[in-house]
Structure 1
């Protein structure tokens, strides 16, 4: 039997702990980068194809497709779990009045979609974004037709009824768009915090933190990539774990879109890959 001195034993313990720690970090990295994110591709007018992207393998898989009417547009997509999605659909501005109404389109892979009319919107309001929060509820962001007046709302997924979240007031003169959450491990407070983006007239984009528990609207970090200010806005945000969220967009006049991560503390963006979709979503937990 091999005998170790006290010093040798201590060195062995440290080495073993270090190796185990590295193994844990390796597993944690794989767990984070193996997240599945979902997107909607529009191969032709009126056709929406829902895809999944495995961030670990970069594999893209088409899950299902759904058709909408010629006078409609897709505003957002949210993932409800178990291959079930809710899409916010609204009439195009060019569509004839009364021809189409705003609706929630629930799409489950392998089943026929179901439609629920949205109620509670003013005539000049549009449900621009829908977010499935960490606790499973639906929160939305509405825009007035001038896009300079935004309101945070609760949405009843069963009835389509919309009610204003009264303790959050967004400045009327500023433009807000997109919703997402970051899920911090063992931090219950993260359930009540939602991120949106604020766009200046020049297009400079910053994060804004909405604290639903405290009723606070807090300006966040200016977004940057490779040390340069991001001034192109986004097609959508999507929830993620840790201190980050996902963003879909591209520099001005560049197509197709790219998928990025955003550090919610610093505003630093990191390119993941190019992805030819128009909207994205993740699970409510960001996993």
Structure 2
């Protein structure tokens, strides 16, 4: 089941033949780096989702014919647009390279449905990539359950148990000691937030910390540095984002600094937060109304964020060999 994503292996990955036509545009997405910076050589894995356009002769298209009785009308080939699965990209920051894409899933067994979101993404100590998939449907149709998917060969999925009806699992983190933890909150992302352990064999969750998060701020993203310290970010009502440390001996998160770029307050939360093997904290996201997302180095003491490289994906983690 292990999915070890080394630099060499990722460079050799090829798009699955059934989906290449619908996803070839991903390989052409541009990214940029700040030329004046001495960027560390990091292997970052990004994840997102994509749709593919297929023709299916067995599907009857929805066509308005109330005012048409033209027997000579051209044949209509129905077009079906459907999320196809998960798209992985690898970014080598120091070498300014994107080492190609890999698509997981196909049109018959998509890993992600239209009414679902990627709510968490991380890598385990053995290199296995793990994603949390959360339903967001508001229709009468019963939603598929929250699950964690191990992106191995074959792909393995566990249904998450222990969640209440109005809760969702997000912000996954593979810890140094081999566990999988995450944050559980309401489906709209609001408090109360609980730090939980996720059983890698059963998918069952259980609370692991008595840290009480603020009730007026959203909490997202978990990162662990080599010294074992945990970090997350708090998002205020106006988008202001605070870097905090989590300590099991403290009842509240330890506030470190307000995040900012070029002396401007960061105003949009973060998509991901990771920590390198050297202890460098990295943030991933974009300011409000700006695109694309980018990787930033973070000064833990001042909150200053330095843009390293753009990376047009949804969430990131660090590849582990």
Q: Give 2:212's aligned residue.
A: 169
Q: Give 2:288's aligned residue.
A: 252
Distance of 1:139 and 1:203 partners within structure 2 = 25
Residue 235 of structure 2, aligned match among 199, 202, 206: 199
Task: Report the CA distance shift for 1:54/1:82 in structure 2 as closer, same or farther (over 3 A).
Answer: farther
Give the gaps of 5 or more residues in structure 2: 1-37, 52-82, 105-110
Query: Are 2:189 and 1:182 equivalent residues in the alignment?
Result: no
Offset of residue 214 of structure 1 = 5.1
Task: Report the CA distance shift for 1:160/1:97 in structure 2 as closer, same or farther (over 3 A).
Answer: farther
Q: More strand by proportion, 1 or 2?
A: 1
Offset of residue 267 of structure 1 = 1.0
Distance of 2:100 and 2:139 partners within structure 1 = 30
Q: Give 1:16's aligned residue.
A: none
Q: Give 2:48's aligned residue.
A: 41
Residue 112 of structure 1, aligned match among 154, 167, 192: 154
Task: Report the CA distance shift for 1:35/1:95 in structure 2 as closer, same or farther (over 3 A).
Answer: farther
Structure of higher RCO (CA pairs closer than 8 Å, 6+ residues apart): 2
Q: Give 1:142's aligned residue.
A: 184
Offset of residue 219 of structure 1 = 1.2
Distance of 1:119 and 1:199 partners within structure 2 = 27
Offset of residue 213 of structure 1 = 5.2
Q: More helix by proportion, 1 or 2?
A: 1
Using structure 2 for the length normalisation, give the TM-score. Answer: 0.71
Distance of 2:230 and 2:173 partners within structure 1 = 9
Aligned length: 247
Task: Report the CA distance shift for 1:42/1:258 in structure 2 as closer, same or farther (over 3 A).
Answer: same
Offset of residue 263 of structure 1 = 1.6
Residue 55 of structure 1, aligned match among 67, 90, 93: 93
Give the gaps of 5 or more residues in structure 1: 1-29, 184-189
Offset of residue 171 of structure 1 = 2.3
Query: Are 2:306 and 1:264 equivalent residues in the alignment?
Result: no
SS at match of 2:151: strand
- Indicate conservation of the 8 Å contact 2:231/2:245, yes or no: yes
Query: Are 2:168 and 1:126 equivalent residues in the alignment?
Result: yes
Distance of 2:88 and 2:125 partners within structure 1 = 14
Q: Give 2:144's aligned residue.
A: 100
SS at match of 1:207: strand
Distance of 1:104 and 1:146 partners within structure 2 = 19
Distance of 1:276 and 1:50 partners within structure 2 = 11
Task: Report the CA distance shift for 1:265/1:219 in structure 2 as closer, same or farther (over 3 A).
Answer: same
Task: Report the CA distance shift for 1:97/1:172 in structure 2 as closer, same or farther (over 3 A).
Answer: farther
Distance of 1:115 and 1:234 partners within structure 2 = 26
Offset of residue 265 of structure 1 = 2.1
Distance of 2:102 and 2:263 partners within structure 1 = 39
Q: Give 1:241's aligned residue.
A: 277
